Amino acid sequence: MLKTFPKGGIHPPENKLTADRPIVILPVPSQVTVPVSQHIGAPAVPVVEKGAAVKAGQLIAQAKGFVSTNIHSPVSGKVNKIDTVVDTTGYKQTAVVIDAEGDEWVETIDRSAALVKEITLSREQIIERCQQCGLVGMGGATFPTHIKLTVPAGKKCDMLIINGVECEPYLTSDHRLMLEKGAEVLTGVSIIMKALGVENAVIGIEANKPDAISQLTELAKDFKGITVQPLKVKYPQGGEKQLIKACTGREVPSGGLPVDVGVVVQNVGTSFAVYEAVQKNKPLFERVVTVTGKSVKNPGNFMVRVGTPVTALIEAAGGMPDDTGKVVNGGPMMGKALAITDVPVTKGTSGIIMFPADASKRAEVMPCIRCGKCSSACAMGLEPWLISVLGQKAMYEKAEQEKITDCMECGACAYTCPAKRPLLDYIRLGKATVIRMARERVTK
């Protein structure tokens, strides 16, 4: 039976234009720009000097503290400079610019394509390897993986959920990964299960990917404890809390973490990265990115090195269409428009979407008509119209009472609003301020 989460949700047009396009390996670019902050947490500290020769997979920036990750060189060549460049956030950040020469990898990386199923590392070694290899959540939030794999003392985890939902319209990178690297993904899942010490894992996949469901179901027969759960198509099913509710019926308490109900959620892309890190000793320096758009000539899924300029990706997809009005980094619902396209791909870049000008322009904002559509669309059971106004009017105490911090910024409210109010913009603003206030309260 198809399961789903009970509250709210919307059905945006899927537009999965690239679902049948196999992953194409993009040639190594002549120059890469690797930002030192590609994850949630403290930026990494560069450990290479200008002019230093580096190999692909070599550490170029060391994690600073626990909530941070290592950054590795995605190419072999020479460090051109360490400078501040505009990255996908739209702000200038420190980045290591490397001129590529050849494609020589660090010797310890196993470059063969052979599947290694046997897990030889221990629990602690797996987590340590994930930390060393700079793994982050590949779904877009880029939270360091080693922290998620470390179950906090006093908490018990009994289930792993793998997010193969890919509920964002247009994006197909996880879908292709499940089809083409199914066995590797499942091995990755087994590794994460071992790291967490759990017996069961559920892979949640939406019903619009029947080929991925059937293939993983078939492959999962060879893996102990892994089942595939088909899910009804509904946005935002890929939200952690929604996926847990859909797959297990458990509800994560407000302000809590999935581990509070004994669950850890990891993305399909992360599972693949874990496989590569643990079995092949390969740090995270490349990922699958969907480059798509309705007027794009050659949309597709590309395996690219981190630090590749987005312009190179757009070129690979047949160039930017003339009618393009907006280039979005990520999915159309949660992604962010790019101010300039000359920015590097980071560990969290799941897609690059080019929207025609007429489809991307925001409509004129009208007054709220109190229709309540946003409240019915909210998968967290919040009242978006209210918390949005509270954020706009800087009434943060009230916003906190109204659980603004439970918002996961999926954008379903703004999508459904007939008055085209920028609900999410103000909710984000209020949420950020409330979180900061709460943090200040704790430190006082």
**For binding to another protein (CB under 8 A), which residues are involved?**
84, 86, 89-92, 336-337, 339-340, 361-362, 365, 392, 422, 425-426, 428-429, 432
Comparing CB distances to another protein, the nearer of 111 and 420 is 420
- Looking at the chain, how many residues does it have? 444
Comparing CB distances to another protein, the nearer of 84 and 254 is 84
- Return d(Cα 385, Cα 54) in angstroms, integer: 52
Phi and psi at 62, nearest 5°, equal: -90, 140
Closest approach of another protein to the CB of residue 420, in Å: 11
Comparing CB distances to another protein, the nearer of 155 and 336 is 336
Strand 53-54 vs strand 77-86: parallel, antiparallel, or unpaired? antiparallel
- What type of residue is 237? Q
Residue tagged 């200038």 (tokens): 92
Comparing CB distances to another protein, the nearer of 205 and 389 is 389
Comparing CB distances to another protein, the nearer of 258 and 391 is 391
- Return d(Cα 135, Cα 68) in angstroms, integer: 10
Please check whether residue 51 is in contact with residue 79, taking contact to mean a CB–CB distance below 8 angstroms. Answer: yes
Closest approach of another protein to the CB of residue 293, in Å: 17
What is the secondary structure of 232-279 as a DSSP string?
A: ---BTTTSHHHHHHHHH---PPTT--GGGGTEEEEEHHHHHHHHHHHH
Closest approach of another protein to the CB of residue 162, in Å: 31
In DSSP terms, 328 is beta-bridged to: 337, 353
Comparing CB distances to another protein, the nearer of 297 and 361 is 361
Torsion, CA 369, CA 373, CA 374, CA 377, rounded to 10: 180
Task: State the DSSP H helix or E strand holding residue 286, giving kind and residue range, or none if neither.
Answer: strand 286-292
Closest approach of another protein to the CB of residue 433, in Å: 9
Closest approach of another protein to the CB of residue 415, in Å: 14
Closest approach of another protein to the CB of residue 339, in Å: 4
